[in-house]
Amino acid sequence: MIMESTPQSLTSSGTGKSAKMGSRIGLTQELIVFLLAIALFTYFSLTLDNFLSSANILNLIRNVAMLGMLSLGMAVVVIGRGVDLSLVAVMAVSLTFSIVLANQGYAFSAALVLGLALVIVVAIIMGFLIAYVEIPAIFATLAVSAIVYGLGRGVIATLDVNNVPDNLDWFLFLGRGSFLGIPIPIWLFAISALALYLFLRRTGFGRFIYAIGDNISTARITGIPVRPTIILQYVLSGVMAFLAGCVTAASVASMNMRMVNSTLIYDVLLVVILGGIGLSGGRGGVRNVLVGTVLIGLLLNGMTILDFSYTVQNLVKSTVLLCALIVDALLNPRDEQTSQQGDI
């Protein structure tokens, strides 16, 4: 029962009228978002001159791939009833770390491995703080985000922007190349989406994550290794952030740490929430991320072409996010008798 978490299974198992209602609306939400995305795409194609140009489509795809990979990482954590606000900081700082190492003479592959190691260490520390010390995930990840960013700005690098060393075509290929006519970032996004899909649906740990997100006390009583699984969630999201960072760095041949101060992390949250992964955990999957990514990617790209200023874009995005939160709250109202104390 706990393991089954697709909307269909909830409906068929008949856990009550409200669950049926919720799942039916949940299904429509995903569908609505998908239809919206198609409508938006058609609208932009018809009204914006540059929208269908190959340069723009490439740009769109690259951004979408990066956003999608980050969202995949966030999705894993949110399904397990957590949240990871450190994604962007980890992404920017780990790649900066790799690049700085490479510029100091390390082989780039070795530097990348060290960067990945940094990500995993940070993720394990963060997961430990959340799972064992029991600090609320939002605080732990927020504070780790600040610490990692401070580490990047104060210790690892002196400059905000660090360029990838020359003659690294194989690396740049990750961001700029294509295979069978489809850009590599999309391949990477697709592969990681498939891998995460298989992980979440077919492996024991994937099922554990759903169980933990659904009801952590029950999961613990059932005998699931709750705490190690929570650490695993954050390691996974960190690895996804690192992958996204590779794609970003490869496509522009540099890594800009100021990205941490942007509202990228809210875009990621937006993708996850709009896609239909409830913040209360245990619901949703990779498909929701794909749908959400397409919509948000289109929206961001369209606004950029329409020449909305950065602030106005932020305003629009955050208003959309707020609306998504309100809809989420109206569709899944929290009950005074069953909601958890101190759940902020």
Partner 1 sequence: MEAIERLYFRYFPEKLLGEVLTKRWSDNAVPVFATILTISFFLLQNPNFFTLSSLTETSRQLSEFSLIVVAMGIVLLAGGLDLSVGSVFALANITALICIHILGWPVWATVATTLAVGGLCGAVNGFLIGYLRIRAFLTTLVTLIIIRSIVDIILLRYAVEISAVFPESDLWFFIGDGLVFGIPFSFLVAIVVIALWHVILTRARAGWHINAVGGSRRSAYNAGLKVKFTVFTTYVWSSLLTALAGVFFAARLGSAGSDTGAGLEIAALTAAVLGGNSLGGGRGSVIKSVLGAIVVLILTDSMVRVGISGGISSMILGIVLLAVVAIDVRWLKNRHKLLNKVYVSPAYFRLSELPETGAGSGSPYAINDRLKDVSLIGQGEIEGPEDVIFDRNDNLYCPNRHGDIVRFLAPNYKQWEIFAHIGGHPLGMAFDAAENLNVCIGGMGLYQVSPDHTVRKLTDETNRTLLSVIDDSRLKLADDLDIAPDGRIFFSEATIRYDMHDWATDALESRGNGRLICFDPRDRSTKTILRNLQFPNGVCMAGDGQSFFFAETWGCRISRYWFDGPRKGACEVTIPNLPGYPDNINRASDSCFWVALVGMRSPALDLAMRMPSLRKRMAKRVARDQWLFPNINTGCVLKFRPNGEIVESYWDLGGKNHPMVTSMREHKGHLYLGGLYNDRIGRLRLPDADPNWTSQVAYWGANK
Contact set with partner 1 (CB under 8 A): 129, 133-136, 138-140, 142-147, 149-155, 263, 266, 269, 279, 311-312, 314-315, 317-319, 321-322, 325-326, 328-330, 333-334, 336-337, 339, 341-344
Q: Are 102 and 222 in contact (CB under 8 A)?
A: no
4 vs 134, beta carbon nearer partner 1: 134
54 vs 311, beta carbon nearer partner 1: 311
73 vs 175, beta carbon nearer partner 1: 73
112 vs 129, beta carbon nearer partner 1: 129
8-state DSSP, 260: G
167 vs 338, beta carbon nearer partner 1: 338
Q: Going by DSSP bridges, is the β-strand pair 182-183/254-256 parallel, antiparallel, or unpaired?
A: unpaired
DSSP 236-257: HHHHHHHHHHHHHHHHHTEEEG
d(CA 234, CA 122): 9
CB of 340 to partner 1, least distance (A): 9
Dihedral-angle region of residue 82 (phi above 0 means left; psi in -120 to 50 means alpha; beta otherwise): beta
Half-sphere exposure of 174 (CA within 13 A, CB side): 17
CB of 315 to partner 1, least distance (A): 4
CB of 329 to partner 1, least distance (A): 5
CB of 82 to partner 1, least distance (A): 12
Q: Which residues contact 209 (CB under 8 A, 6 or more apart)?
A: 76, 79, 80, 200, 229, 232, 233
CB of 65 to partner 1, least distance (A): 24
8-state DSSP, 156: I
Query: Shortest CA distance to 266 belongs to which of 69, 29, 88?
Result: 88
CB of 134 to partner 1, least distance (A): 5
145 vs 251, beta carbon nearer partner 1: 145
Q: Are 38 and 292 in contact (CB under 8 A)?
A: no
